[in-house]
Amino acid sequence: MRIKLIIIMFFWGSLLSSARAEDVDIGGYVLTDWRVRTSDGQLLWNENRLNLEIDASPVDNAHVFAQVWVRGFGGTVAKSTADLMGHDKRKLNPWDLILREAYVDLYEFLSPNLDFRIGRQRIAWGTADKINPTDNINPDDLEDIWDFGRHVPTTSMLATYYWDEVTIYGVFVPSFTPAALPPPDWAAALAGSLPALGGDIKPSVVSDELDLPGRSLKEQASAAIKVSRAVLNYDLSVSYYKGRSDFPVIKKVILTPDESGGVEAHNTLVFPRMDVLGVDMSGAIWDVGVWAEIGVFFPEEVQAMLDASALELGISEFVALSDDPFARFAIGGDYTFHNGIYLNGQFIHGFVHELGQDALHDYLVGGVEKKFRNETIKLTMAAAVEVPDITDPGDDYAIVGMPEIAYYPWDGSEVKIGAHLIEGSGHSNFGQLTGMDEIYLAFKYAF
């Protein structure tokens, strides 16, 4: 870890030494975030983060940017007194170093109309609020399930060509990166069910392994293109992504008996190829901001095998993912009233991990906020309702409430206290998290 930090500091120090002081901007923030489960008082989240950003233009027609996270998730991992001794305190106070972004921009590269960016970067596409069906270049980051819209930056090349009022984007990503999944306490929201064979088999132990794509560019690489322009008072774009799903799909299930008379399941998971045709727009109708976004997904079919021969139930095959196209979309709007009340609403068909037409759920999300005392206090009430089908809700549902109070005592500072309240039943994703209500306290200072 220390070696990584030294290398990063040396690289950026060497690069920035050629830049003028007035062309270098160093900033970031410090964040502390605590979350406690209300049912038993368990501390579920204890993050302390230093976000450091370097933004510079060392030469004409060039720009460099880097973002580094230094994080500590409180709580010791020490197992013996030996772990408490010596100068290395990583078991007493674990921390990690994450290089989020590090890229170089070259303006007017080879042509006055062409910009080029290379390096580790976040390429965000789409116009919807945080849940974007066309945003598929970077894998989803669900480490913090409440940080909607977070993605993992990846090493890639981005070319931007300006042709009159049309902008054309081309992206090439040489290697594949899976999505980051949430901690075990929250993983139930993404868990699928095993196919039944000879009755409802519920394994007592489940293990898995990932069958990652081969190391060649043909297996690893992905690419995307987008064309955008303004039409009347609206921004419109059409995009196409060719790559893989960043969420795994079951390819093989092996069921075996365990010593206690139960059943163990071992799953092999793959990342199928996935093409996405996207269309999005944003603009305003009178004073109401509006947006709409749709992604039509063309998945590779995954034929899976269920091996229960050890249970004397034989071997069977099933389709884990059909190659039938399916669509995720989001449509919404926002409005600020004359008294300062801000209203936001959005309808979403299909969450980020839902693959296949039968897996798509409907989500109605809304929020209202109001600032007081010269905008030093902000009250927010957000809520979401999930059902498998908005036209036929049935008994599967989830309701999530997210009240929050934020206080801004000084420039750049923010103190938040709030809650995540969950109620649901049936097979809804967030309904699986019923009983995981939590309250949180967060402090952030930007510099």
* pLDDT bracket for residue 193 (50, 70, 90): very low
Provide the pLDDT confidence category of residue 243 given band limits of 50, 70 and 90.
very high
The reported pLDDT for the residue numbered 13 is 57
Q: Average pLDDT of 136-158?
A: 97
Answer yes or no: is pLDDT of 342 > 50.
yes
C-beta of residue 242 within 8 angstroms of C-beta of residue 225: no
- Distance from C-alpha of 111 to C-alpha of 116, rounded to nearest angstrom: 10
Contacts of 307 (CB under 8 A, 6+ apart): 252, 253, 254, 255, 315
pLDDT category at 20 given cuts 50, 70, 90 is low
Lowest model confidence (mean pLDDT) among 88-97, 355-364, 407-416, 434-443: 88-97
Query: How much is the average pLDDT of 45-64?
Result: 94
In terms of Cβ atoms closer than 10 Å to its own Cβ (0-12, 13-18, 19+), residue 17 is exposed
Asked which of 54-58, 278-282, 442-446 is least confident by mean pLDDT, the reply is: 54-58
376-399 burial, b if ≥16 CB within 10 A, otherwise e?
eebebebebbbbbeeeeeeebbbb
For residues 193 and 53, the model is more confident at 53
**What confidence category does residue 14 fall into, taking pLDDT thresholds of 50, 70 and 90?**
low
Q: Residue 9: pLDDT band by 50, 70, 90 thresholds?
A: low
**Cα separation, 390 vs 393, whole angstroms:** 6
pLDDT at 16: 53
Has residue 330 got a pLDDT over 80? yes
Q: What is the pLDDT of residue 394?
A: 77
Lowest mean per-residue pLDDT among 196-210, 259-273, 346-360: 196-210
Task: Read off the pLDDT of residues 98-120 as tens digits, 9 standing for 90 and up.
Answer: 999 999 999 999 999 999 999 99
More confident residue, 21 or 71: 71
Indicate the domain borders of the chain: 1-100, 361-447
Q: What is the pLDDT of residues 358-398, one digit of tens each?
A: 999 999 999 999 999 999 999 999 999 999 888 877 788 99
Per-residue pLDDT band at 86 (split at 50, 70, 90): confident
d(CA 277, CA 176): 20
pLDDT value at residue 80: 84
pLDDT of residue 18: 54
pLDDT at residue 75 is higher than 90: no
d(CA 256, CA 264) in angstroms, rounded, equals: 5
> How does DSSP assign 95-139, residue by residue?
-EEEEEEEEEEETT-SSTTEEEEEEEE-----SSSS--TT--SSP
Structure confidence at residue 200 (pLDDT): 61
Q: Average pLDDT of the chain?
A: 91
Instruction: Tell me the average pLDDT across 315-320.
Output: 94
